[in-house]
Amino acid sequence: MLPNKAQAARRLFLQRLGVFSAATALPALLSSTVDAQSSTKGVSSAQRWGLLIDTSKCASGCDACVRGCHEEHGINSTGNEHTDAQWIRKIDLQNNLSGQKSSLPMMCQHCESAPCVDVCPTGASFKRADGIVLVNKHTCIGCRYCVMACPYKARSFIHEPISDQKSWAPRGQGTVESCTLCVHRIDAEKDQQPACAVACTDEAHSAILFGDLNDPDSDIVKAMANQPASQVRSDLQLNTGVRYVKL
């Protein structure tokens, strides 16, 4: 127990801190209600984009999300399978005790404390204000520290020259890439979904839900309130933006 005087001083300090943070939070709250589009104003930390993946709806053997993603970004096999870019992959799990099986897509988890950001020597691996973790390929020197630092093996290095890129998805030799949560789609238009989520819905699985983790009224937050959602490797305390249900 603290002596009474120190306790009082501490309480006063905390009170003031509360008033101060309420005052600073207010404008942010007001602006967050305006719109979700960043196209003209730029991204803001009022949003934090994320995914909720329901593994019970994810079918083993189905790779619609992988195809959807790779088609969207013009990712084709170079013929060297072991070095092909892979922004999203399917993983099958089995509980050895019960034999229970599940299947899930694995991609960049858009960590709040992203190890790939910490290790990048140029600042090219960075987190946008809205929580999306990206590679700025203009400043990426291809050192691949981030590839090694990522606990989810979510990043790929481009070994070979690339041609016929999509105009919205520039990609090239000598840089690292990974899931961008389809920034080009979600920045451009309100209510746009990442390509993987669209592909999953088109396949009638709807296992991937995209939304704003900071918005208590969003479908994703409501879905997370109804059922336990976990982080892969939660022991690392990275506070991932991608969460899994029934993992």
Partner 1 sequence: MHPISPIRLLQCLLLLLGLTLGWMSVAGERGPVIPKGKGDRCVADTDFMRRNHMDLIVHQRDETVIRGIRDEPFSLVECVDCHAQRDANNEPIRVDAEGQFCASCHTFVAAKIDCFGCHAAVPDGEDQERADGGHWLPNKQLAAFRPHKAAPLKSSVRSTVSSDHDELSSDASE
246 near ligand HEC (CB under 6 A): no
- DSSP-assigned beta bridge partners for residue 212: 49
Judged by CB under 6 A, the stretch of 1-9, 105-113, 167-175, 191-199 that binds ligand HEC is 167-175
184 near ligand HEC (CB under 6 A): yes
20 near ligand HEC (CB under 6 A): no
Minimum CB distance to partner 1 smaller for 74 or for 151: 74
Do residues 246 and 238 lie in contact, with contact meaning Cβ atoms separated by under 8 Å?
Answer: no
Minimum CB distance to partner 1 smaller for 59 or for 236: 236
In the chain, the amino acid numbered 196 is C
Do residues 196 and 183 lie in contact, with contact meaning Cβ atoms separated by under 8 Å?
Answer: no
In the chain, the amino acid numbered 3 is P
Minimum CB distance to ligand HEC smaller for 74 or for 151: 74
Residue 108 CA to residue 73 CA, distance in Å, equals 15
Q: Which of 146, 183, 213, 242 binds ligand HEC (CB under 6 A)?
A: 183
Residue with tokens 């013009």, as numbered in its chain: 74
Q: Which of 57, 90, 170, 215 binds ligand HEC (CB under 6 A)?
A: 170
- Residue 127 binding target from partner 1, ligand HEC, none, CB below 5 to 8 Å by type: partner 1
Q: Which of residues 107-146 bind ligand HEC (CB under 6 A)?
A: 137-138
CB atoms within 10 A of CB 209: 23
Minimum CB distance to partner 1 smaller for 91 or for 188: 188
Per CB under 8 A, residues contacting partner 1 are: 38-43, 45, 48, 112-113, 117, 123, 126-131, 134, 136-139, 161-162, 164-168, 170-173, 175, 183-184, 187-188, 239
- Residue 45 binding target from partner 1, ligand HEC, none, CB below 5 to 8 Å by type: partner 1
CB of 196 to partner 1, least distance (A): 20
Distance of CA 237 to the CA centre of its chain: 15
Strand stretches in the chain, DSSP E: 49-54, 88-94, 101-107, 125-127, 133-135, 156-157, 176-177, 208-212, 229-230, 242-245
* Strands 242-245 and 49-54, bridge-based pairing: parallel
- Residue 7 binding target from partner 1, ligand HEC, none, CB below 5 to 8 Å by type: none
CB of 116 to ligand HEC, least distance (A): 16
Nearest CA to 198 out of 190, 208, 188 is that of: 208
* Strands 176-177 and 242-245, bridge-based pairing: unpaired
CB of 107 to partner 1, least distance (A): 19
Interacting residues of 182 by C-beta distance below 8 A, sequence separation 6+:
72, 192, 193, 194, 195, 196
The residues binding ligand HEC (CB under 6 A) are: 137-138, 168, 170, 172, 175, 183-184
